[in-house]
Amino acid sequence: MLARLRRPATRVYERVLEAEVSEIPSHVAVIMDGNRRYADQQGADPTDGHRAGAETTETLLEWCDELGIEEVTLYTFSTENFERPRAEREELFDLIAAKLREFADADRVHESEVRIRAIGNLDRLPERVREAVDYADRRTGAYDRLHLNVALAYGGRRELLDATRAIARRVERNDLDPTDIDSTTVDDALYDGPTRDVDLIVRTGGDERTSNFLPWQANGNEAAVYFTAPYWPEFRKVDFLRGIRTYEHREETWRHTRARRALAVVRAFGPGECPEATRALDRFREALPGRERESLPVDPERGDGSPEPPAD
């Protein structure tokens, strides 16, 4: 009885949240935690939990397509997962290989032009999984509407270590001057896959940690993080929309902070002395409260405190 009453209320709340969403993250990374605990709760085998989680993954992609999210990275199998019992590991590899092929052949994937790629230390994976990765890559290689990155045998520290070694080899070969190493150099040395920084990390299952997931792509972009209690098979659209709302609040705070910092610099040194701060103030001035906007310093070159007109 109570469950029947909750369903319509949840649908109404879902519609309210969706109507309130005004800013959508470009890249969402998901730590799909809780499959095994869900199975244990149901008195089932761990593999049954993984299969239930795979259904949630398919639904998540539909939500992302509806909302206009451009990239999704799923933490599917970490380097730590190799420590699981062999039987569970092999069943999970079977499921991953089957789902990759199923996704690659699905009409909805081709209709939505989903580009599927795997990231991680793929050489550690069984041949059947590597073949499924190659198959999905070939089948969807021409698409770019929604990028789906499947993190397999992935660890953030290992990715940074591999990138560091690759850069060191370039320096050793005299192909790269150490003084020329910058963030772009590191970006180029990371695993192929993500095409942009992470805006939002979602973790299900109740744990509040990001577990070595995309540290360069996420922390460098100061990604918003949303932790939620439901196990991954129980994750609902309402939970996803709450995560996006967290991202919106994070963006609003970030813009406000940038505007306040730029304003402090411009007030201290004058609009003409700090062009970078002046540009930041022009860009984020709408994040300031009304009184602060009205009291913005005057740029002598423009003759007022108004922002520059946007570029065409």
Query: The domain that contains 76 carries what CATH number?
Result: 3.40.1180.10
Residues 49 and 180 in one domain: yes
Residues 116 and 254 in one domain: no
Residues 51 and 154 in one domain: yes
Residues 30 and 174 in one domain: yes
> Domain boundary at 173, 207, 235, which?
235
**Per-residue pLDDT tens listing for the chain (312 residues):** 555 555 666 777 677 777 777 789 999 999 999 999 999 999 999 989 999 999 999 999 999 999 999 999 999 999 999 999 999 999 999 999 999 999 999 999 999 999 999 999 999 999 999 999 999 999 999 999 999 999 999 999 999 999 999 999 999 999 999 999 999 999 999 998 898 999 999 999 999 999 989 999 997 667 999 999 999 999 999 999 999 999 988 777 656 556 666 666 667 766 666 777 677 666 666 656 666 666 666 554 544 444 444 444
Query: Quick one: pLDDT at residue 298?
Result: 55
Active site residue 48: no
Residue 7 lies in a domain: no
Residues 231 and 177 in one domain: yes
Residues 95 and 208 in one domain: yes
Q: Which of 45, 81, 121, 212 is catalytic?
A: 81
Query: Quick one: pLDDT at residue 17?
Result: 74
Q: Render pLDDT for 62-118 as a digit per residue (tens, 0 to 9).
A: 999 999 999 999 999 999 999 999 999 999 999 999 999 999 999 999 999 999 999
Q: Which of 33, 65, 199, 282 is catalytic?
A: 33
Query: Quick one: pLDDT at residue 51?
Result: 94
Residue 242 lies in a domain: no
Residues 282 and 306 in one domain: yes
Residue 37 φ/ψ region, left for φ over 0, alpha for ψ in the -120 to 50 degree band, beta for the rest: alpha
Residues 127 and 193 in one domain: yes
Query: Quick one: pLDDT at residue 34?
Result: 97
- The residue range of the domain holding 87 is 23-235
Residue 8 lies in a domain: no
> Domain boundary at 186, 213, 235, which?
235
Residue 18 lies in a domain: no
Residues 152 and 259 in one domain: no
Residues 215 and 289 in one domain: no
Query: Quick one: pLDDT at residue 304?
Result: 47
Residue 180 lies in a domain: yes
Q: Which two tokens stand for residue 233?
A: 């098979």
What is the pTM (predicted TM-score) of this model? Answer: 0.80
Residue 139 lies in a domain: yes
> Domain boundary at 235, 264, 283, which?
235
Active site residue 33: yes
Residues 172 and 253 in one domain: no
Residue 79 lies in a domain: yes
Residue 243 lies in a domain: no
Residues 129 and 254 in one domain: no
The number of domains in the chain is: 2
